[in-house]
Amino acid sequence: MYASLQKRVAIFDLDPQSNLTAAFLHEDDIEEVWNQTNVGSTIYNCVSPLASVGDLKEPVLKKINSHLYLLPGDMRLSDFESILSEAWPSSMADSNLYRPMRILSSFWHVMQLAVDQVQAEIILIDIGPNLGAINRSVLIVTDYVVIPMAADLYSLQGLRNLGPTLRKWKNLWQRRVDNWRQSEDGTSQGDSQLPSGQMEPIGYLCQQHNVRLDRPVKAYDK
């Protein structure tokens, strides 16, 4: 919709299931992208060097049309979950903060590189239905959050869980930014290269509902 309104849009698939990628690319194209491990052809390939001694790779976006660009997802992104989990407590230490903060803000840095590449006006991110370390690191880079829901009890309960979690993550990220600013690393590097962690909920989208029958339906012959 944004692209049809002549807005330059970059979309990022941060769900390891890669459903957004499958919606835009043919399976043969996805296989080709996943095999290009030496370049930033997927979000995993962009951030995976941080698991060792390397740094981020520049993203290679797939052009869907003249106003829409995709950074494909990758099932291997789930392997990065433990790296993010370890970096979260380390980012509150008294020193040596550059690496954990670099890891926690890695998705944001990749997105900024993509914006510069295609002059994107809007970034849209798809994430999985969980509250794990990957989604925490994704959500702290966002300005706004839109919540997809179904018309059922499970979605309502999930919404009750999500609100307090977003507030907690926002506060905890702000503590890390404050800690960074007061550290030696932050004094020398500055905080201009960190996401603000705004993550303001602006609404939800109600998906097509499923009908549940409490009693069996009888079949009648005409």
What number is the average pLDDT over the span 2-29? 95
Cβ neighbours of residue 9 closer than 8 Å, sequence gap 6 or more? 2, 3, 67, 68, 69, 120, 121, 122, 123, 124
Assign 189 a pLDDT band (cuts: 50, 70, 90): confident
For 27-30, the CB contacts below 8 A with 24+ separation are 29/62, 30/72
Taking 70 as the threshold, does the pLDDT of residue 144 lie above it?
Answer: yes
Query: Which strand ranges, in their side-by-side order, compose the sheet holding 62-65?
Result: 62-65, 68-71, 9-13, 122-126
Query: What six digits make up the tokens of 93?
Result: 């230490």
pLDDT (tens digit, 9 = 90+) per residue, 97-114?
A: 999 999 999 999 999 999
Is the distance from CB of 137 to CB of 84 less than 8 angstroms?
yes
Query: What six digits make up the tokens of 170?
Result: 């926002």
The pTM for the full model equals 0.88
